Structure 1
């Protein structure tokens, strides 16, 4: 299985900065990478990035992703963006259930599952985020938390669960500079792999990414773990040199 390196720009970027970043990535990807690559960008910039991808052949190696998607297909949901809209803009991926959405917007496991279902219905691959807080880890609840979060998505999308991507993102390691050790990350990925295996005989198709402060310095050791199939990259995805180093480590 090819590894997947997906950048999550979060609420960063500008028209000029995006063009400069993608220009640098295009130069670095003159030879098509052996892994899969995606950038998940703020909704206002999806059309710009799609246009830049069309204009620069080297960027064809990068798939487009959104950072969120509505659970609703259409209607009176001011500010929401539907899966059909994302599909029309060329999105292959949509992040659902990122810890920042769960924390700041109160998203429940059930809502995350519904968002995954909406994405799948429009032919978009949801990157389903799961992960524990520092308090939950210190209390010994890591396995319980991530299994509960993933179980909701499996329950709502059972027949097509093999079409998702899972991202394990320990909340205590996001944007803090802290990182789970390769062994700690692998242990949780093993749990998630077993849960997927119990849910579908196509579980080998499901990529499980690590998403807790993976960077240019630690990517190679994390990606060497047997059940880490790539990374969901935050801050490092905004620096072309760092993102390219991580892509190289995934090959």
Structure 2
């Protein structure tokens, strides 16, 4: 059975006072085959990791620099995230690819840095609405996978998150048939890149306006092994509900 994963991405939200949401996880039971991760701003990672330890929930970073150290003002390296208590790191999120012009080559370097630092990499891939309407979803996602997955990746240090760009933060969710098609393609393409055994074991999660109302249906879709949760992860009760939906 594949290890499932639910990762909450707080994005640029949250200060110390918001750590109180963690208390809402009290009494939540996380099964052995589900990894739960919260990715707060880097300023909160250390405190968040200490608070979450009693709930068997892990902490992750939202991005990292591709190099270990240097004169890169304002950047945070993968090693720094690990030192602060992170176990995972998101790379290639559409808000980084589009908003910061990050190429597949740069995302690949960041993923390699995460793996080198001992972090499990959550690699995001996905098409824009224009690309989907043009029938290019497989081509775009395939290129992102081929060019963003480093040679050091395997099913133990890599998670793939499919996030159709047109569904991020919009309240729109891909149809179940669209999700199943994309995830099936990702697993097939990963088989070519990583081998059939790794592809079968790798977790492929869905990101795109996941919330307590739609999560059970999404997680019941073939080849969906969890979710990358945005806005719903900012509320402890909502995130707990999504976690519970992944256990049903």
TM-score bracket, shorter-length normalisation? over 0.9
TM-score by length of 2: 0.94
Aligned to 2:21: 21
- 1:243 counterpart = 2:239: yes
Q: 1:138 Cα shift?
A: 1.1
Q: C-alpha distance in 1, partners of 2:213/2:186?
A: 25
Structure having the higher helix fraction is 1
1:122-201 to structure 2, matched below 5 A, reads 122-154=117-149, 157-162=150-155, 163-201=157-195
TM-score by length of 1: 0.93
Q: 1:28 Cα shift?
A: 4.1
Count of aligned pairs: 242
Calculate the aligned-residue CA RMSD, in Å. Answer: 1.3
Question: SS of the counterpart of 2:98?
Answer: helix
1:77-88 to structure 2, matched below 5 A, reads 77-88=72-83
Question: SS of the counterpart of 2:72?
Answer: coil
Question: SS of the counterpart of 2:217?
Answer: helix
Question: SS of the counterpart of 1:105?
Answer: coil
- 1:230 counterpart = 2:226: yes
- The answer as to whether partners of 2:115 and 2:152 remain within 8 angstroms in 1 is no
Q: C-alpha distance in 1, partners of 2:3/2:154?
A: 19
Q: C-alpha distance in 1, partners of 2:27/2:128?
A: 36
- The answer as to whether partners of 2:112 and 2:152 remain within 8 angstroms in 1 is no
- The answer as to whether partners of 1:67 and 1:95 remain within 8 angstroms in 2 is yes
Gaps of 5+ in 1: none
- The answer as to whether partners of 2:66 and 2:77 remain within 8 angstroms in 1 is yes
Q: 1:82 Cα shift?
A: 0.8
Q: 1:204 Cα shift?
A: 2.1
- The answer as to whether partners of 1:7 and 1:233 remain within 8 angstroms in 2 is yes
Gaps of 5+ in 2: none
Aligned to 2:40: 41
- The answer as to whether partners of 1:158 and 1:199 remain within 8 angstroms in 2 is no
With over 3 angstroms needed to count, the CA separation of the structure-2 counterparts of 1:126 and 1:74, relative to structure 1, is same
Q: 1:240 Cα shift?
A: 1.6
